[in-house]
Amino acid sequence: GSPLSFRDRTGLLSQQVSGGVYFFLRLVSPRAARFALIFGGRETCHPDYVVRRSSYAYHVLEYVAEGAGHVRLDDHEAELTPGSIFAYRPETNCEIRTDPARPMLKYFLCLAGDDVPARLAHAGVAPGRVRVMAAHAEVRSRLEDMIREGRHHGRLTARWCASSRTR
């Protein structure tokens, strides 16, 4: 696939964040691959951060590293705390909001392909549900590795990022 243009990138990312660090591997049609990591990153939410969407181009996996907030995925609502991880499908009605007193620092991965929901469910993160991970340092370290490698666009970047998400 071709790389995301700056215009495409700004339409996919929230403007209610600071200190965002992103990587963009490729832009593919959601149906063009069985399972593909398209882009991801780390964001520090502004105190007024609210995202409301009824659809999105990709499946999304989000991980809260710091702060607190709230998420609604269709009819399922949950509080977000450090270690919260959740996923949602492109057609999910989604609202994510940070606690203004404790803005979130969160990571996200945007995925495409027909196999994404089953692979997420197999990993224990079924789309539409929230769970809390205990191994904060390990999860955060792996996500930071993916961001660092994804930003380099080397010959083996896509392969490395693909192997990271299956460990």
Tell me the average pLDDT across 31-45: 84
pLDDT band for position 64 (50/70/90)?
very high
DSSP-assigned letters across all residues of 31-49: TS-SSEEEEEEEEEEPTT-
Q: Determine the pLDDT at residue 57.
A: 86
Tell me the average pLDDT across 115-120: 94
Residue-wise pLDDT for 81-97, tens only, equals 999 999 999 999 999 99
Query: Which residues are CB-neighbours of 137 under 8 A, at least 6 positions away?
Result: none
Round the average pLDDT of the chain to a whole number and report it. 82
- Taking residue 52's Cβ as centre, other Cβ atoms within 10 Å add up to 10
Instruction: Evaluate if residue 9 carries a pLDDT over 50.
Output: no
Phi, psi angles (nearest 5°) of residue 14: -70, 145
Task: Enter the tokens of residue 96.
Answer: 């994510």
Burial 90-112 (b: 16+ CB within 10 A, else e): bebebebbbbeeebbbbbbbbbb
Q: Determine the pLDDT at residue 25.
A: 79
pLDDT band for position 62 (50/70/90)?
very high
Of all residues in the chain, the percent with pLDDT exceeding 90 is: 55
Phi, psi angles (nearest 5°) of residue 6: -60, -40
CA 99 vs CA 5, 21, 22, 67, 71: distances in Å: 32, 21, 23, 7, 11
